[in-house]
């Protein structure tokens, strides 16, 4: 915003033919800095965040156009100054307006870029091994199985949790979820992820999913005291000791690491226990729309005799 304010002032000076050299220099420097910053942020959004904002891309385009305009017109500026005529701002005003109008028309946020899951080799994925180590939800006879590697402190996992629960309800009998922990404790805000995972693994199956839903249902990431309070609210018989739960979570991490999992949530999808696809929160919706999945989810349940 500050950069655009400076560009507006510099542009106004150019239109009035006032201090052309200074205004041109300031405008050029701000535009070039804007190009560099936009380039860095665009690279970061694609490689780190895996999502791009059309407003940001539009801003980057306008910064490039502004820099090009300042680089292309210094001699013309001096010539016009000598004649005492102002520089027309109309061409350079129309282009940004068109860019903003196009962004407003097609939406403010572009489709996120799916992360790279090429490290996961589906030929090396074993359904039996994943089934033995998972927390399952849904019927064992379901034709589709979704294996999830998740982090209880992960915002994307939190957003996907409710959607997955609704998807399982809507497709009851057709899909099964197998949950594995993959706490990303090295990331800021994820420091309590493994602790939360180990608490959940002490609980019996019914309480496990209740605890996971409560953790994901928090408006803010719970700290250790809040996690302890949530854990204490489940009075059912414990499935594992704290030490055994720790070993379970460590084993989940090893399984995910060996498979090539690097981010959460990561999904591996099976049809009739055969691995057929891998996905993230960005593209799992597109994956389950593939013909091999669509024909299962759109098929009507057989009528009971």
266-275 tens-digit pLDDT: 999 999 999 9
Query: What is the 3-state secondary structure of the chain?
Result: CHHHHHHHHHHHHHHHCCCHHHHHHHHHHHHHHHHHHHHHHHHHHHHHHCCCCHHHHHHHHHHHHHHHHHHHCHHHHHHHHHHCCCCCCHHHHHHHHHHHHHHHHHCCCCCCCCCCCCCCCHHHCCHHHHHHHCEEECCCCCCEEEEEEECCCCHHHHHHHHHHHHHHHHCCCCEEEEEEECCCCCCCCCCCHHHHHHHHCCCCHHHHHHHHHHHHCCCCCCCHHHHHHHHHCCCCCCCCCHHHHHHHHHHHHHHHHHHCCCCCCEEEEEECCEEEEEEECCCHHHHCCCHHHHHHHCCCCCCCC
Give the pLDDT confidence of 275-290 residue by residue, as tens digits: 999 999 999 999 999 9
Residue 190 CA to residue 213 CA, distance in Å, equals 17
Residue 241 has what pLDDT?
96
**pLDDT tier at 103, thresholds 50, 70, 90:** low
Mean pLDDT of the chain: 85
**pLDDT tier at 74, thresholds 50, 70, 90:** low
Give the pLDDT confidence of 198-226 residue by residue, as tens digits: 999 999 998 999 999 999 999 899 999 99
- Indicate the pTM of the whole model: 0.67
């Amino acid at each position: 915003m500050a950069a655009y304010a400076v560009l507006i002032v510099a542009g106004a000076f150019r239109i009035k033919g006032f201090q052309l050299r200074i205004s041109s220099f300031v405008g050029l420097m701000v535009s070039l800095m804007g190009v560099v910053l936009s380039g860095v942020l665009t690279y970061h959004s694609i490689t780190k965040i895996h999502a791009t904002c059309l407003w940001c891309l539009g801003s980057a385009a306008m910064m490039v156009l502004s820099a090009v305009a300042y680089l292309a017109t210094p001699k013309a500026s001096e010539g016009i100054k000598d004649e005492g005529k102002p520089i027309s701002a109309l061409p350079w005003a129309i282009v940004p307006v068109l860019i903003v109008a196009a962004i407003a028309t097609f939406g403010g946020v572009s489709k996120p870029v799916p992360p790279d899951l090429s490290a996961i080799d589906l030929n090396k994925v074993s359904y039996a091994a994943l089934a033995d180590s998972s927390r399952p939800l849904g019927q064992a006879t379901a034709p589709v199985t979704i294996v999830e590697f998740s982090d209880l402190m992960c915002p994307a996992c939190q957003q996907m949790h409710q959607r997955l629960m609704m998807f399982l309800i809507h497709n009851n009998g057709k899909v099964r979820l197998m949950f594995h922990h993959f706490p990303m404790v090295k990331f800021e805000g994820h420091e309590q992820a493994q602790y939360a995972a180990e608490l959940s693994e002490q609980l019996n199956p019914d309480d496990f999913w209740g605890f996971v839903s409560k953790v994901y249902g928090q408006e803010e990431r719970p700290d250790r005291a809040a996690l302890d309070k949530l854990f204490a609210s489940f009075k059912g018989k414990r499935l594992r000791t704290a030490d055994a739960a720790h070993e379970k979570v460590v084993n989940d991490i090893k399984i995910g690491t060996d498979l090539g999992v690097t981010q959460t949530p990561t999904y591996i999808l099976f049809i009739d226990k055969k691995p057929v696809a891998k996905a993230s929160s960005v593209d799992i919706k597109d994956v389950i729309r593939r013909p091999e999945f669509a024909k299962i989810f759109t098929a009507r349940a057989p009528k009971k005799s």
